[in-house]
Structure 1
Amino acid sequence: MTEGEHSMEDRARIFAPVLAQVKRLADEGKPVAIAIDGRCGSGKTWLSGLIGDRFPCNILHMDDFYLPFGRRAQGWEAVPGGNMDFRRLRDELLIPIRAGQAAVYRAYLCPEDRFGEARLLPVRNLTVVEGSYSRHPSVGEAYDLTIFLTCSREVQRRRLAQREGSRYAAFEERWIPMEENYFRCFDVEGTSHMVVDTGGAY
């Protein structure tokens, strides 16, 4: 068995309870929204892709909802979620989606500090919002299922070092401390419907 095959087996096993809950919601036949929050390197994007492979759904990435630098408040790094545009996520997308309506949005392109082309989200009963800060209180009670993914610091370091290469230092110095502050302030892990440790997944 190759490493890749082993990883796929382990991931399917670890996420089986999540997929069962997603299926339960999808079978209800009404608009529902799911949040996948958790630590960077824990597999949020991978899980959203797995759900997208198995269920017709819209997938939203929190990376598309950063605030432009010119709109961030002074000292934003000390404010949990101070770099995110929660109002746009809530008003332009989650409210119409949960009302069974199509929605249009423009992803923010952080490296270029500009917005991309308009994207249409068709009417679908299942919407997945993945990424850190998706559970911020500013979004409100927008989700029917909330999932928190976690892993040990050792696993996180290994995964991020492999994924980010030379950019890894920025995660240690800035992004991980900001995330952990957000998790603590709002007890994101403790208030999630499901918590999954992905340490054995890959």
Structure 2
Amino acid sequence: MAVTISFPDLAAAVRALPPSCGQVRVVAVDGPGGSGKTTFAGRLGRALECQVVHSDDFPVPWDGPLEAWFTQVEEQVLGPLAAGRPGRYRRYDWARGAFAGWVEVPVAPVLLLEGVSTARRTAPVAYSVWVEAPRELRLARALARDGAALEPQWRSWMRAEDEWFAADGTRSRADLLVDGAAVPGEFTGIRPP
């Protein structure tokens, strides 16, 4: 059943959850590339007044394992938070092709992880959101952002995403499904997935 819920209402529901990683409630916003995850996570992060860690902050080769970046998140962010300590990681600047400095991640009530494979089965997630949109719309968004020359890499990436999500069962475990074709101030979600 489709429901309309506001970002403040979703934020209140998240704040009411028990912590999942030490004292922190980890919220994952997952789904395929170009689906609207970053937009949705930005709005939810503002409603939660929490930090958002993006998978794009980590270097991931086009032809590498899709989920490899998450090891860095586990070691540098989630591990310390689970132990009650702040985390930190080096943010990767894709335009420069180099690391751009350290990002501090304090122990806080909520941390939002955004990106492909953030709601993986093994992650200490209190709440997971799956954002989806039609494949051709996602590809068009990605190419508008990254340039048409990257279409072969994007098509390969999308096949790798399909394989990852099928093996992990990510969508079927989501607490909330969101239509990312348009993510307005109020969004339509489907609960349960």
TM-score w.r.t. length of structure 2: 0.76
Q: Which letter maps to 1:46?
A: T
Distance change (3 Å), C-alpha of 1:195 and 1:116? same
Q: Residue 77 of structure 1 corresponds to which residue in structure 2?
A: 63
> Which of 169, 177, 186 does residue 195 from structure 1 map onto?
177
Give the drift of 1:142.
Answer: 1.0
Give the drift of 1:127.
Answer: 0.2
1:61–1:130 CA contact under 8 A, matched in 2: yes
1:33–1:98 CA contact under 8 A, matched in 2: no
1:180 aligns with 2:180: no
Structure having the higher helix fraction is 1
1:66 aligns with 2:55: no
Distance 1:56 1:18 in 2: 11
SS state at 2:80 partner: helix
Q: Residue 34 of structure 2 corresponds to which residue in structure 1?
A: 41
Gapped regions of structure 2 (runs ≥ 5): 185-193
> Which of 124, 148, 158 does residue 142 from structure 1 map onto?
124
Q: Residue 118 of structure 1 corresponds to which residue in structure 2?
A: 102
Give the drift of 1:200.
Answer: 4.0
> Which of 14, 20, 32 does residue 9 from structure 2 map onto?
20
The 10-residue stretch of structure 1 (26-35 or 180-189) with the greater mean CA deviation from structure 2: 26-35
Deviations 1:73-100 (A, max 9, x none): xxx937442xx33222112101322444
Q: Which letter maps to 1:131?
A: G
> Number of matched residues?
179
Gapped regions of structure 1 (runs ≥ 5): 1-12, 70-75
Which is higher, the Rg of structure 1 or of structure 2?
Answer: 1
Structure having the higher strand fraction is 2
1:97 aligns with 2:81: yes
Give the drift of 1:25.
Answer: 2.3
TM-score w.r.t. length of structure 1: 0.73
1:135–1:188 CA contact under 8 A, matched in 2: yes
Give the drift of 1:61.
Answer: 0.6
Give the drift of 1:151.
Answer: 0.9
